[in-house]
Amino acid sequence: MANSSFMPNTDSGKADLLDHLASTLPHYAALLEVSNEDLASFQADALAFRYTLKSLADMQAYTHHLTEFKNLLRDGGAGSADWATVPMLAEPMPPAVIPGIISRLSALAAHLKSHKNYTSAIGLDLSLVGVTSVVDPSSWKPILSVQNKAGHPIIVWTKGSAAALEIWVDRGDGNGFNFLTINTEPNTYDNYALPSSSALWKYKAIYRLHDEQVGQWSDVLSITVGV
């Protein structure tokens, strides 16, 4: 599979490009005659899009856990009978922007490339020049790390050219690894009820493309949770 367009195919990739331009474009704003107003508007677009993707990932994780809880209530089985914690939108919430972020990004890129002072070196630095590369999904292997939110793990990962990430968890209850979720955007918040005593939760993941697992399983990530 080859890719030569500067515009990423995935929402995660688009967010990465927006973030990169938001931090890099100020160095060229005067040279390429980008006004302070236009620059601030673009940076607001980047912030709003990243915030929306992160909020969506949190809500998708909650939906999965609520479905698991519903099934547990209906059918019984091992698991916590506590309600899943509803995720809250992170603060501070960025200002709202007008719809059409990617259309504005494309228009900005076209404007920059048509400017008399634009060079290929600037385009490379701004990530506005497509680089043809061959992508081999069989070599993909997720790298997992962890953050913490009120005691709950946030599994941190990058998307790359994959469509999604499939994550499995072993909660140390003797049941081994079980399916946790499939997320299309990083990162993954695990709001499963925390144990009353210390426990070791383990996570592993594999990339997905065209609704199938691809590549290799990640190394197992172990996290101590609970009191």
pLDDT, tens digit (0-9, with 9 covering 90-100), for 46-70? 999 999 988 888 888 888 778 888 8
pTM of the model: 0.59
Q: What pLDDT is recorded for position 1? A: 47
Identify the H or E element spanning 199. Answer: strand 199-209
Q: How many domains does the chain have?
A: 1
Question: How far is CA 116 from each of CA 33, 84, 113, 180, 218, rounded to the nearest angstrom?
Answer: 10, 56, 8, 52, 47
Q: What is the pLDDT of residue 131?
A: 60
Q: Are 130 and 6 in contact (CB under 8 A)?
A: yes
Cβ contacts of residue 199 below 8 Å, gap of 6+? 171, 172, 224, 225, 226
140 CA to centre of own chain: 17
* CATH assignment at residue 113: 2.60.40.10
Q: What is the pLDDT of residue 134?
A: 61
In whole angstroms, what separates CA 209 from the centre of its chain? 16
Output the average pLDDT for the chain: 89
pLDDT in tens, 91-140: 889 999 999 999 999 999 999 999 999 999 999 999 998 765 566 899 89
- Residue 23 pLDDT class (50, 70, 90 cuts): very high
Which pLDDT does position 4 carry in this prediction? 56
- Angle at the Cα of 80 (from 78 to 83), degrees rounded to 5? 140
* Element of type H or E holding 39: helix 36-75
Range of the domain at 142: 2-225
Across residues 27-52, what is the average pLDDT?
95
Question: Residue 87: which pLDDT band, with cuts at 50, 70 and 90?
Answer: confident
At 82, list the tokens: 């506590």
CA distance 19 to 138: 28
